[in-house]
Amino acid sequence: MLSRVAERIYWIARYIERAENSARLVNAYTHQMLDLPSGMEPGWRQLVDIIGDAPAFDEHYRSYDEPNTVSFLVADDFSPSSILTSVSMARENMRTTRELLPTEAWQHCNELYLQVRNHAHEGIPRRGRHAFLKDVIFRCQQLTGLLAGTMSHDTAYDLVRLGRNLERADMTTRIIDSAIFILMPRQRDPGQYDNLLWINVLKSSSGDQMYRQHVRSRVEGAAVVKFLLQDRYFPRSIARAVSEAEFSIHHLPRNEAPLLRILELRDRVLMAAVDDMSLEDMHSHIDKLQLAFNLVHNEIFRTWFQIHHPAPRIRTTGMAHA
């Protein structure tokens, strides 16, 4: 397989997962803001900082109000992390690699793109936001399932699985950090609304039911972070996603350097003593994880994709300088 083809397949999966998880993040944050009483909201800028795209936002907007921020993350084609940009890039990469992918996958990706392009404006106001984001999540899940169920699990699919799981793990850290950042300024005086934030974090990852089945304790911060960080069985946990990425790397040639990086990341995830961490410690640990994800991606790029061009931009760490 040509390196440029391999790179496009890897990015197809990352962009599909990014679109789904951006929808999850915006939806979760909207619910968090609605649950908090007046005067406790941290503001919408935090959402852009979590994604790591504040410089791009500042080029086009002057204020971090709700319409600007949601538009930037949902519908703006100049935003590198918007849902529209992600599905557009997934479609373009799939268009140029259609011979390696199931025909149904291309058709479904094209339908996803047309749906987002024609209806993204409906996701900006609160009235239509939940329905639009729910539809995006559902369509992305359909496409992910279609690839898993109809594509031969060969080298091309290993690249799909690798890209999907790295993007999934990275965004799970950002969703966790969205609640941590809200709670850090008032952790000495916790309120009755704190657990609602963690419930929204679980729901944004579709993990509420699995948490209650397997953790069997009330919803509280450290237990939620530990579940989403280290649970080996929940498919959207960081530990599980990193394990799936490691499995894919094992099947690819010349894998020594990427394998070393993914094993370092795995150890950093599993060895974290979450029960002994303050919110500041959790925030710092997540920043380090996001840096580790970038190191894994850069090693993947150098090993399998690089010819004569630099590695494409990966989002910066979420709230490292907040």
Residue 153 in domain: yes
Per the structure block, which two tokens stand in for 101? 């992918």
Residue 255 in domain: no
pTM of this structure: 0.88
Residue-level pLDDT at 36: 67
Confidence of residue 320 (pLDDT cuts 50, 70, 90): very low
Q: What percent of the chain has a predicted confidence (pLDDT) above 90?
A: 64
Q: Find the mean pLDDT for residues 253-259.
A: 94
Higher-confidence residue: 216 or 185? 216
Residue 227 in domain: no
User: How far apart, in whole angstroms, are the C-alpha atoms of residue 92 and residue 12?
Assistant: 9
Residue 58 confidence (pLDDT) above 50: yes
Residue-level pLDDT at 16: 97
Per the structure block, which two tokens stand in for 234? 């929940």
Q: Are 221 and 52 in contact (CB under 8 A)?
A: no
Residue 294 in domain: no
Residue-level pLDDT at 220: 84
Q: Domain residues for 11? A: 3-219
Residue 175 confidence (pLDDT) above 80: yes
Q: Find the mean pLDDT for residues 86-99.
A: 94
Residue 25 in domain: yes
* Closest by Cα among 88, 98, 118 to 18: 88
Q: Find the mean pLDDT for residues 287-303.
A: 93
Confidence of residue 319 (pLDDT cuts 50, 70, 90): very low
Residue 23 in domain: yes
Question: Taking the alpha carbons of 44, 45, 48, 49 in that order, is the dihedral positive or negative?
Answer: negative
Mean pLDDT of the chain: 88
Expressed in percent and rounded to 5, the helix, strand and coil fractions of the chain are 75, 0, 25
Question: Taking the alpha carbons of 230, 234, 236, 240 in that order, is the dihedral positive or negative?
Answer: positive
What is the secondary structure of 92-121 as a DSSP string? HHHHTTGGGS-HHHHHHHHHHHHHHHHHGG
User: How far apart, in whole angstroms, are the C-alpha atoms of residue 87 and residue 91?
Assistant: 6
Higher-confidence residue: 184 or 49? 49
User: How far apart, in whole angstroms, are the C-alpha atoms of residue 248 and residue 25?
Assistant: 26
Q: Find the mean pLDDT for residues 78-94.
A: 95
Poorest-confidence range of 139-153, 206-220, 284-298, 302-316? 302-316
Residue 250 in domain: no
Number of domains making up the chain: 1
Residue 206 confidence (pLDDT) above 80: yes
Higher-confidence residue: 136 or 197? 136
Residue 10 in domain: yes
Run of H or E including 260? helix 256-270
